[in-house]
Amino acid sequence: MLLLKNKGFTLVEVMVAAGILALIMAIIYGAFAGSLKTMEISTEGGDVYRKARLILNHIAQEISCAYLPAEQENSSIQYAFIGEDREEDGLPRDTLSFTTTAFPVKGPARGLKEIGYAITLDPETDEPALVMREDVTPDDQVDEGGDTYLLDAGMWGLDFTFYDARGRDWERWDSTASIFAGKLPQRVQIALYYKDAQGKPFSLTTTALIPMGGE
């Protein structure tokens, strides 16, 4: 009668099998972790994009309602559209102040108000942030007064490009200066600058058309 003997695995075979299993698990974990990281970056990028679009639409709407009367003599209000070209840390940090007929942030009433946009440091994070200044009681200083609202923290740059009726682009615009003859630009390109996970800046842009511009 033939007897069969049970043959077990040697220590070397067990170690080889364990090594192969560990390698397979490492590959699977690496792929899984990479997928999670990609999903996380994609989600963060999508959130930034959606938030930026809302802000761009809001700014564009305010600019589209920019207002300058034909005559400003003997007025206690400074009707103006003043955009300054500035740069800091290698990124644009433009400012813009103007009078507009857009709806105010506070209150349902529609009427004349002063608006200002600028990049400042967030006191909580000490990082650049976009703020909006709104003054619903316009006076003789278009770039001062009113309440300031934080629109978005972590915004590293703000850039405005102004276009006149002939399509020429300007880095700055001052309706109180003789070169602009008390006129509004015909359109304004708005660019918001953020930084990605690697710290590289990227921008999102839109354009606001001004019905009263270029006249």
Q: Encode pLDDT of 139-184 as tens digits.
A: 999 999 999 999 998 899 999 999 999 999 999 999 999 999 889 9
Amino acid identity, position 13: E
- Which among 158, 172, 171 has a CA at the least distance from the CA of 81? 172
Task: Report pLDDT digits (tens) over 76-134.
Answer: 889 999 999 999 989 999 999 999 998 776 655 557 899 999 999 887 888 899 999 99
Hey, where are the domains in the chain? 46-209
160 strand-pairing partners: 190
- Which among 72, 160, 77, 61 has a CA at the least distance from the CA of 118? 160
In this prediction the pTM is 0.76
Tokens encoding 124 = 């909580």
Q: What is the DSSP letter of 120?
A: E
